[in-house]
A and B are shown apart, each in its own frame.
Chain A
Amino acid sequence: MTKIDVMKKLKIFLGSIMILCSLFSFAQKGTSFIGVSGGISLPTGNWAKANYIVSTTGYVSDPSGFAASGIAGELNGAYFFSPYFGIGGLINYATYKTKDINTLSAGYRESFDVDQVTTTAGSYKIENFLAGIYFNYPVAKRLSLTARALAGIAHATTPLYTVDVEDGGIDDGTFEQKSASKTAFAFDIGAGLSYPIINTIAINLRADYFYAKPDFSIENTQRQNAAGRYVTEYDQPLAGVNVSLGVAWLIIKK
């Protein structure tokens, strides 16, 4: 996705928000808030797959991302200009370790037919900067249903993989799949429940679907012979579900 595409999508999204703002600008205001939350992030699709790749006759590119369930946290806030609708945004950070590293390592070991492979893997990291519409609807005396639709940019970083090859008692060196970073359009939609424990503090439980599709260009070093998993581009969606628990400071009381 080019920068122009990202800007175009952002303009459409922000334009939609402005139209909604004007529709509700004369209504009674709801409760604005600033909050923090954290929870688990569950990757989906190819990004979460961990394929066993063996190739002795050439390189094999593989869409599986080996992303384990991660942790995510965010700082968010919204200004409610009507009883039910507000505008706001979030800054979110999530990190995902490499899962099934034994599968990755065994694939390299078998591809090079060696006595031992030592594989070290870092983590995916994603930072989101999103803005959009917030919705809040009371479903009981103190319990509210909340929802949001946000869009913006995500800055994502892939893990560094280091593979050390040993055979016949000789260390045959180390090769690396370098870490790569890219910024891309991202969105987040989700819903949850909000319960004020005191007048100014509410507890939020929510689930959000997030999506970004950075097209990473990945550098590999010390790959001398054509064998095994070899990823030079990764353009799979980084998508999944965040389940989070958080607290919010309620700024404007009705």
Chain B
Amino acid sequence: MLLDGTLFYLFAAIVLVGAILTVTMRNVVYCAVCLITTLLGVAGLYLLQQAEFLAGVQIIVYIGGIMVLYMFVIMLVPIGEESRQRRFSSQKWLALLGGAVLAVQLGFLLSRGIGAFELAEPSIARDLGDLGSNSEDVGGVLFSEYLLAFELASVLLLVAMIGAVVMAKVRRES
């Protein structure tokens, strides 16, 4: 339990510091690297929550796939002059005000504690020593209850792939 607490605060610190640096860094490449740090921290939090399969998916898909895509586009777009320009748009004070209102609302909800949320009774906790069964559980539910959604997700990915190719293609005027 002590190790769990220490690891949670470690990963939470990694996630939050990485997120803040992602939003505030001037250089886009540094932003991407900080985002990778954040995603790694989130993968660690998944591990703490007994979601081992998702931790692997997070690292493979997010860091191995999506962030590499970001890096490609960052390399395609020249960023040399970026460091001399303004980082934030002119509406930043309005945005900060709106964010403060949102923070107050969410903070009020959270401060009332978990007892205020009318949650269903948690069922019997899964035994923690059984580490190999998580992907089995997820796979079982994914391919039985959510089979249609799974197929639709594959169609969505196909459409997105075609869309990305069509968008980024150079059109020759004839």
Partners in one complex: no
